[in-house]
């Protein structure tokens, strides 16, 4: 199993209330959508899967390696993560292309950036300063960075939130091509993903209440 | 010859400390550096008590506390409280050690070197040591350039993409401990931050790209050291204070010419 959570409890530093409680989940392949109301624990679950947050109870495994292990940083090289909020100050002097290349540090086999940028209608963003792009444009670059890494596991947190309808459709088509790998998407409007997803995981108050 | 050795040491120390300060700011571990600097001061003061070279005792305490903090901090709650408590603790240890060193009738020049820095503080051995650490730091930065750039862009994302952020933070903390302990001889324990952060702040105000910010920070650090050195020598003023005044003047001039001075900068 690429992702295996066993009765996981995660709490943020200083908080007595766990953000996710007793979550068990095993995923190996396909496209899976996590949905639920605000504060349900969707982003926490995603960060637990990638090992940015460690469970205080239960165990989380990524490609069979416990996320508490020191070895986990090497395992993460097979993964891509698109965070929810990504606004950099205008003074950051990176172009869109620089930002994508920063994600290709380990010279892994990567997908053609230009081809992906064409598919996502983002070619003109590659040479522009990243800090001066709008929220939606920055999100496109972050998605391109994640896709270019050709990951075994793709984690996306609200990737459609700042995108226009046309780009949403384009992204939807790109994600479809990853169905032989593992894709986990946190998505408020899961109707967008319903047709291509293998499962819809619904969360509420830190628990998985339904998998359909 | 002594004059040349001292000025070369001041320039190399400034380059080392400004580059370490630049990466500490970008890695967002500046508060930790206050703690490490006072650990270096405490170590140097303990060295005075036991009649050990204060640079070596300062290095041992600075590097060991920097690495210990790097290991402990990710695992605990109330990080800032621990850092501030240790900062106060190391200051207290430094003052107690200085008190005891006075009773053993140590030469006042050694004591003032630890506190305020000294124009004649660096001998050829220390000069070679500064150069060796500077070269090692440059090799480290070159070897891991793309990983470090990725951490600077976004630490959490770099971690999620498989970069060993923990290792690089510990490495930077170790270099910080070494650099601070060495530069302590020139600026003194209380003014080490002048070289650590003032040139970096000035460079962030006027330079755009990461590469230019680093180059400008190092250049400003070196200018502060050389001009401060000359002022100290000609007017017979403490070198640490002279360097700080020059660095502060550079910061004010940079702010005056910067378009970013009123902008929110993260």
Structure confidence by residue, pLDDT tens digits, A168-191: 888 888 888 888 899 999 987 767
pLDDT score, position A75 = 95
pLDDT in tens, A55-110: 999 999 999 999 999 899 999 999 999 998 776 766 667 899 999 999 998 865 56
- How many inter-chain contacts (A to B, CB under 8 Å) are there? 63
Q: CB of B224 within 8 A of CB of B195?
A: yes
More confident residue, A40 or A192: A40
Cβ-nearest to B163 among A52, A73, A99: A73
CA distance B44 to B6: 20
- With a cut of 50, say whether residue B78 has pLDDT above it: yes
Cβ-nearest to A76 among B153, B160, B209: B160
Instruction: Work out the burial of residue A187: count CB atoms within 10 Å of its CB; fewer than 13 is exposed, 13-18 middle, 19 or more buried.
Output: buried
More confident residue, A190 or A11: A11
Give residue for tokens 């416990």.
A66
Token digits of residue B162: 């498989």
pLDDT score, position B83 = 86
SS3 state at B102: helix
CA distance A122 to B246: 47
Nearest CA in chain B to A83: B157
Q: How confident is the model at residue A11 (pLDDT cuts 50, 70, 90)?
A: very high
Q: What mean pLDDT comes out for the span A40-55?
A: 94
Chain B hits for A91, Cβ within 8 Å:
208, 260, 263, 265
Is there a contact between A80 and B161 if contact means CB atoms under 8 Å apart? yes
SS3 state at B220: helix
> ∠ at Cα B168 (A183, B194), nearest 5°?
130
Q: Supply the pTM of this predicted model.
A: 0.88
pLDDT score, position B61 = 95
Give the mean pLDDT of chain B. 86
Is there a contact between A89 and B208 if contact means CB atoms under 8 Å apart? no
CA distance A9 to A55: 5
Q: Which helix (H) or strand (E) holds A203?
A: strand A199-204
- With a cut of 70, say whether residue B263 has pLDDT above it: no
């Amino acid at each position: 199993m690429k992702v295996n959570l066993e009765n996981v409890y995660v709490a943020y530093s200083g908080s007595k209330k766990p953000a996710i409680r007793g979550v068990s989940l095993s995923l190996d392949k396909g496209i899976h959508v996590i949905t639920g109301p605000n504060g349900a624990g969707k982003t926490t679950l995603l960060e637990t899967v990638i090992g940015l947050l460690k469970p205080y109870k239960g165990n989380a495994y990524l490609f069979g390696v416990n996320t508490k292990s020191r070895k986990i940083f090497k395992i993460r090289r097979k993964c891509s993560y698109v965070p929810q909020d990504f606004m950099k100050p205008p003074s950051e002097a990176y172009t869109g292309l620089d930002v994508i290349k920063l994600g290709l540090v380990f010279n892994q086999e990567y997908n053609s950036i230009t081809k992906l940028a064409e598919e996502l209608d983002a070619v003109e963003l590659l040479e522009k300063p990243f800090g001066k792009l709008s929220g939606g444009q920055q999100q496109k670059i972050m998605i391109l960075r994640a896709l270019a890494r050709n990951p075994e596991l793709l984690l996306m947190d609200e990737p459609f939130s700042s995108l226009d309808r046309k780009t949403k459709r384009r992204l939807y088509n790109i994600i479809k091509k990853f169905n032989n790998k593992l894709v986990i998407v946190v998505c408020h409007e899961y109707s967008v993903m319903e047709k291509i997803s293998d499962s819809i995981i619904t969360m509420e108050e830190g628990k998985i209440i339904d998998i359909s | 010859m002594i004059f040349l050795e001292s000025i070369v040491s001041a320039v190399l120390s400034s380059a080392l400390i400004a580059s370490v300060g630049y990466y500490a700011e970008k890695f967002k571990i500046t508060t930790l550096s206050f703690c490490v600097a006072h650990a270096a001061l405490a170590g140097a003061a303990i060295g005075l008590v036991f009649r050990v070279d204060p640079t070596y005792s300062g290095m041992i305490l600075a590097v060991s506390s920097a690495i210990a903090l790097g290991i402990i901090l990710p695992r605990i709650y109330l990080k800032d409280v621990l850092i501030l408590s240790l900062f106060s603790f190391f200051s207290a240890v430094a003052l107690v050690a200085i008190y005891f060193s006075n009773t053993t009738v140590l030469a006042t020049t050694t004591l003032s070197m630890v506190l305020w820095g000294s124009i004649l503080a660096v001998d050829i051995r220390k000069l070679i040591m500064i150069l060796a650490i500077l070269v090692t730091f440059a090799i480290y930065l070159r070897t891991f350039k793309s990983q470090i750039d990725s951490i600077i862009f976004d630490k959490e994302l770099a971690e999620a993409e498989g970069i060993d952020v923990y290792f690089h933070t510990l490495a930077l903390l170790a270099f910080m401990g070494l650099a601070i302990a060495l530069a302590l001889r020139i600026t003194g324990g209380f003014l080490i931050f002048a070289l650590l952060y003032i040139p970096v702040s000035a460079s962030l105000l006027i330079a755009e790209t990461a590469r230019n910010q680093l180059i400008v920070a190092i250049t400003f650090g070196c200018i502060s050291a050389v001009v401060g050195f000359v002022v100290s020598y000609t007017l017979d003023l403490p070198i640490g204070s002279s360097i700080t005044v020059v660095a502060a003047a550079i910061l004010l001039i940079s702010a005056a010419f910067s378009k970013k001075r009123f902008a929110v900068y993260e």
